[in-house]
């Protein structure tokens, strides 16, 4: 097995792990606020095929939903600032959008949906890195995408913060930052070919396919 293959497998496991961490029990930090946790609890009844969902309304509580199939690519490329998704990304989106919830009700999230979103997110991140390589760094300041070396932890942490402000609409927590840095450091070897690019791809894909990026 080549190192690249091992990396891909590990990346998938790691991303799914983060996704599971985020959505598996609905108890992660971002759902601790009163309004959203109430909404999640209130959205237990399955949606109907016409898109109306039997959600128990809690007065004063903001309804939360996720991106739906027709907007998932727009959402991910908008928050990252990818000006125009590439043909390859569009093709991936067309291939995977069928697995994404039609209306985005929180009670319609499935494992295939999260895998599909991860695939699309990976392509969006690839576009983002190509864009930053061509026009200058916005989210991955200090990263050398061609280098066979990892960015330092300060640079990695900075990119996590910038991604969080962009796509999570909040600052990341210390725990989240540590998890992501550990993920990069344990997945990409310090002298690995294209280590800069791979670490950016890993951070971006993990954060973009997490539930906070998908909230709508």
Q: Which residues bind another protein (CB under 8 A)?
A: 35, 50-53, 55, 57, 59-65, 68-71, 74-75, 77-79, 81-84, 86-88, 90-91, 102-104, 131, 135, 138-139, 158, 161-162, 165-167, 169-171, 213, 216
Shortest Å distance, C-beta 166 to another protein: 4
Q: Which is nearer to another protein, 86 or 185 (CB)?
A: 86
Q: Which is nearer to another protein, 118 or 159 (CB)?
A: 159
Q: Which is nearer to another protein, 139 or 180 (CB)?
A: 139
Q: Which is nearer to another protein, 46 or 81 (CB)?
A: 81
CA 86 to each of CA 11, 57, 161, 180, 213: distance values in angstroms, whole numbers, following the listed order = 22, 40, 25, 27, 20
Identify the DSSP state of 29. Answer: G
Shortest Å distance, C-beta 26 to another protein: 17
Shortest Å distance, C-beta 139 to another protein: 6
Q: Which is nearer to another protein, 13 or 46 (CB)?
A: 46
* Partner residues linked to 215 by β-bridges: 66
| Residues 210/37, Cβ–Cβ less than 8 Å | no
Helix or strand (DSSP H, E) at 40 = helix 34-42
* Partner residues linked to 47 by β-bridges: 53
Shortest Å distance, C-beta 162 to another protein: 5
CA 167 to each of CA 42, 57, 205, 215: distance values in angstroms, whole numbers, following the listed order = 25, 27, 11, 10
Shortest Å distance, C-beta 142 to another protein: 13
CB atoms within 10 A of CB 177: 17
Q: Which is nearer to another protein, 84 or 193 (CB)?
A: 84
Tally of residues, the chain: 216
Q: What is the dihedral of CA 25, 107, 180, 112, to 10 degrees?
A: 110
Q: What is the dihedral of CA 142, 145, 148, 151, to 10 degrees?
A: 30
Shortest Å distance, C-beta 167 to another protein: 6
């Amino acid at each position: 097995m080549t190192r690249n293959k091992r990396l891909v497998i590990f990346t998938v496991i790691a991303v799914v792990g983060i996704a599971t961490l985020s959505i598996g029990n609905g108890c992660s930090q971002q759902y601790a606020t009163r309004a959203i946790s109430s909404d999640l609890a209130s959205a237990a009844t399955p949606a109907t095929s016409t898109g109306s969902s039997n959600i128990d309304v809690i007065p004063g509580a903001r309804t939360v939903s996720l991106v739906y199939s027709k907007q998932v690519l727009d959402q991910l490329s908008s928050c990252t600032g990818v000006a125009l998704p590439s043909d390859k990304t569009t093709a991936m989106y067309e291939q995977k959008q069928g697995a994404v919830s039609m209306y985005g009700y929180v009670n319609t999230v499935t494992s295939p949906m999260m895998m599909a979103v991860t695939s699309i997110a990976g392509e969006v991140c690839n576009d983002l890195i190509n864009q930053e390589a061509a026009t200058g760094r916005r989210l991955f300041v200090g990263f050398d995408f061609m280098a066979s070396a990892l960015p330092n932890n300060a640079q990695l942490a900075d990119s996590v913060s910038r991604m969080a402000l962009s796509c999570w609409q909040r600052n990341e927590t210390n725990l989240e930052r540590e998890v992501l840095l550990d993920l990069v450091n344990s997945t990409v070897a310090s002298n690995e070919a294209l280590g800069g690019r791979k670490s950016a791809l890993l951070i971006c894909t993990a954060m973009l396919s997490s539930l906070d990026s998908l909230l709508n």
